Chain A
Amino acid sequence: MKAIVDTRKCTLCGVCQEACPVAAITVTESATEISDACTLCGMCVDSCEFEALSLPEAGAGPTDDLASYRGVWVFAEWRQGRIHRVSYELLGAGLNLADQRKVELAAVLLGHELDGLADELIAHGADVVYVVDRPELAQFTDEAYANVLFEAIRQKQPEILLAGATTMGRSFIPRVAALLRTGLTADCTHLDISEEGLLLQTRPAFGGNVMATIICPNRRPQMATVRPKVMKPVRDAMRQGRVERLEIPARCLRTRVEVLEVIPEMEETAKIAEAEVIISGGRGMQNAENFKLLEEMARLFKGAVGASRGAVEEGWMHPSRQVGQTGQTVAPALYMAVGLSGAIQHVVGMQGSRVIVAVNKDTHAPIFDVASYAVVADLFEFVPALIRKIKKEHGD
């Protein structure tokens, strides 16, 4: 299968040939030809201003009785005794979807000793909170969590399920989708709903260089993991809702994995994926000691310190701080790249940040290509001066 050319609309302009990432398109004087190298990625479809290109439709497969699925669900992520912030954000997004569909918004809460937690989920928009409170769920394992959520979905048949694109959500939600034999879209940054009730799931692909909108036309529920800190939570302490405990058969709680140890990392700065501000350093930092400068600045912003692959390879920073293709993808409100050249492998991991500041001596550093604010300066002069300025403004 390959992309389809509508010869009546095609003007042989050749734009699609440039857009194709796998060189599958050849535009000759008389025709636009698509070779077997086509991977159906859709890049050409977007590039064509004459709407001459399209992709073949996804397989229908056995179509579910779509109308029998109703309601929007949010998986309430419970870890170490509290609900993850992303779950409240998803309830904020879910409110909007449930309103448009004129259906209930539900939160589904799995764990152990959950008393009192449902109230906050209701305040954040849940009309109903489905609770499974069992000692077997005190520790997370993909198998037990997925089997229980699968069973809950089977019982109640929601049309949409959203979960946070956290390490927990990205780990066990694919199992739920596979058990349900339905589609799943990873790491969405925008959600909308069509008139027919199709969830329009938009996510970055190719390291954030393109955005793709994805649907799940023939299966239910429509499932998506959603990137933290993208949706906005809405809290109203007066909201009313109900709590319903679900009966789950014991077999669903079984798991073949044995959890031997859970070692929490208390260090706040370690969590770059959740930080609102990230101050990252590269090889220009010269040594591990100099990263203390960045740590001091990060503290002023209540942010975290990140690093380029180069700085991690030098052993100056822990691999968990690495931003980029083989590290973490981050999108904070402020990303400050200090002494970091900005190789593409780094840029794809941070270009979604709202404000990007680049500090570098080299005017040709590629990091300046993605910067909102470019500071050409010696970082060892600039960073201490910025720290002094912020401290002065803070009144220290």
Chain B
Amino acid sequence: MHIVVCIKQVPDAKNVRIDPDTHTLVRQGVEAIVNPFDLFAVEAALQIKDQTGARVTVMTMGPPQAAEALRETLSLGVDDAILLTDRNFAGADTWATSLTLAGAIRKVGDVDLIICGKQAVDGDTAQVGPELATQLNIPYATFVKRIELLNEQHLKISRQTDEGVEVWKLPLPALITVLKEVGEPRVPSLRHKMRAKKAEILSWGAEQLNLDASEVGLSGSYTQVVRIFSPPRRTDRILLTGSVEEQVEQLYQYLKEARVPGL
């Protein structure tokens, strides 16, 4: 069995804080991390590897420095890593991203299961997984919180929806996007860390994927950002003072004035 996990490198939220005066984003440094949801995806894949000896390949599309994100997952016990990097990939929307990933999955060939995180924490779209499955013409399930491998051909999953839990049976090959409930990421082992340092990371560009520059990145995107702006500023913070009783009185009046539902 061969599992591919698609990951993304994102800016580290720890290096970001909100300026209390302007309520805008302050970035300190530009450190990048593996998207937190993608670490759950890696963990889910490694759990299947533990049970069945499946091979796990991790893949990312990004600038050359995204290789660091791949190495981090290698130190957790992932077998192989592939970096999809090309100047032409920049500015890709979810369509162009999933098209590029689909090209890479086809090149890899023998893939039984693709696991993605629920969404990336910078873009928050949750679209690349379903779009990738559609481009590969394989079934998928989103918001998966439990995975059970029934046999070589079938997967049983539980997915969390707004209304409750659904239990589905999926034929393989398939794609799933996972929530944190699949399992907290394991700690890197010394042995895997040593290997990760030296491991060779495959690097593919548009040419290796048989994709034309016009199909990928911003050129291949159907959507385009026309404006980026700061969200409207919150009105200034009001500090409630005095005794607890006085604070309660003030807050109640403010919430009443703000027409908060339920009062």
Contacts and interface: CB of A to CB of B under 8 A. Distances in A.
Interface in B219-260: 219-231, 234-235, 237-240, 244-245, 247-249, 251-252, 254-255, 258, 260
B131 A205 contact: no
B211 interface: no
Contacts of B227: 42, 45-46, 212-213
Q: Classify the interface of chain B: helix, strand, loop or mixed.
A: mixed
Contacts, number: 327
Which of B20, B171, B262 gathers most chain A CB within 10 Å?
A: B262
B162 to A, nearest CB: 5
Contacts of A258: 168-170
A382 B244 contact: yes
B103 to A, nearest CB: 14
A186 B120 CA distance: 12
Interface string A343-387: 011011001101111000000001011111111111001100110
A211 B249 CA distance: 36
B124 interface: yes
A355 B142 contact: no
B228 A42 contact: yes
B163 A170 contact: no
A14 interface: no
A204 B37 CA distance: 19
A218 interface: yes
Contacts of A170: 126-127, 142
A348 B170 CA distance: 34
A86 to B, nearest CB: 10
Contacts of B214: 59, 61
Interface of B: 11, 13-14, 16-20, 23-25, 27, 30, 36-37, 63, 65, 87-88, 90-91, 93-95, 98, 121-127, 129-131, 133-135, 139-143, 156, 160-171, 179-181, 214, 217-231, 234-235, 237-240, 244-245, 247-249, 251-252, 254-255, 258, 260-263
16 contacts: A1-B91, A58-B221, A140-B166, A174-B126, A182-B222, A183-B95, A186-B127, A207-B13, A209-B230, A211-B229, A264-B164, A319-B179, A320-B160, A375-B240, A376-B240, A377-B247
